[in-house]
Amino acid sequence: MSGRRVVVFPSSAELGPSLVSLVLSRAERAISSRGRFTLGLSGGSLVSMLSKELLSLPQLDCSKWICAFCDERLVPFDDPESTYGLYKNNLFSKVNIPDSGILKIEPSLAVAECAEDYTMKLQSVFPGETIPVFDLLLLGMGPDGHTCSLFPDHPLLEETEKIVAPISDSPKPPPQRVTMTFPTVNSARCVAFVSTGGSKAPILKEVLEGREGPALPAARVVPQNGELFWLVDDPAAASLTIQVERLGSGAKL
């Protein structure tokens, strides 16, 4: 697959600084070209990794950033399952990103209405674009190969019209969520997966080296005109036989 870079770090601690160097370089590129940086965030271990590394930078300027969520759980913001809530506590409240630069769901709505409301919020930030083109999306991958809230064998994998879709039967709780669809994910200028830990090794091999049967959701992330990074640590990469790049802490991407 052209354009895909699989980069292996000795540990997640050494991966973190390179992830942030990627974020900052794509932010600088976007702001110099378009006057703003549009970033899609995912939850899980990414929250603490990204927050820790960004907050260690003494002169971080997020005033021209617009942050959205690749998927979100339909729970109140003070619920520990809320991805927005985690980022607010760990990052947003400590940097100079304007509140208008954070696109969040309205969790009081029914899931279908919530997805429509979130769609309108994205459209207002990307006027004139049928499908939003994010500068950078940061994705994770579950042990079943799901990414965003796009799960194996789910009908949403075939969605081609909506840029955001509701899901009310997520196999992973909580069941009600809002997720970006593949048209949105694959329109991004840059997509970076972060996958760490030995428990991810079997599924990472299936996603990156192919498997019989339908492609897993994470394997369907193939930006049409953008870059694709897989940033992984040694334990996650333990089963890979493909050629990879090996880098140390803070290496520029």
Flag whether 253 is in a domain: no
Global model pTM greater than 0.75: yes
What is the Cβ-side half-sphere exposure of residue 137, based on CA atoms within 13 angstroms? 29
Flag whether 116 is in a domain: yes
| Enclosing domain of residue 184 | 4-246
Q: Looking at the predicted structure, is the pLDDT value of residue 184 above 80?
A: yes
CA dist 100 to 84, 222, 234, Å? Answer: 14, 30, 39
Q: Looking at the predicted structure, is the pLDDT value of residue 16 above 80?
A: yes
Question: Mean pLDDT over residues 21-25, rounded?
Answer: 96
Nearest C-alpha neighbor of 194 from the set 231, 237, 144: 231
Tally the residues of the chain. 253
Question: Mean pLDDT over residues 140-161, rounded?
Answer: 96
Q: Calculate ∠ Cα 7-157-82, nearest 5°.
A: 70
- Ranked by mean pLDDT, the top range of 1-10, 61-70, 239-248 is 61-70
Give SS3 for 183. helix
CB atoms within 10 A of CB 199: 12
The whole-number pLDDT of residue 201 equals 96
Give SS3 for 110. coil
Confidence of residue 1 (pLDDT cuts 50, 70, 90): very low
Give the CA radius of gyration of the chain: 17
Strand-pair partners of 228: 4, 191
Residue 137 in tokens: 């999306």
Chain mean position to CA 84: 13
CATH of the domain at 54: 3.40.50.1360
Residue 52 in tokens: 């820790």
The whole-number pLDDT of residue 253 equals 83
Q: Looking at the predicted structure, is the pLDDT value of residue 127 above 90?
A: yes
Flag whether 251 is in a domain: no
Q: Quick: pLDDT tens for 49-104.
A: 999 999 999 899 999 999 999 999 999 999 999 999 999 999 999 999 999 999 99
The whole-number pLDDT of residue 211 equals 75
Domains contained in the chain, number: 1
Flag whether 252 is in a domain: no
- Looking at every residue in the chain, the average pLDDT score rounds to 95
Q: Looking at the predicted structure, is the pLDDT value of residue 116 above 70?
A: yes
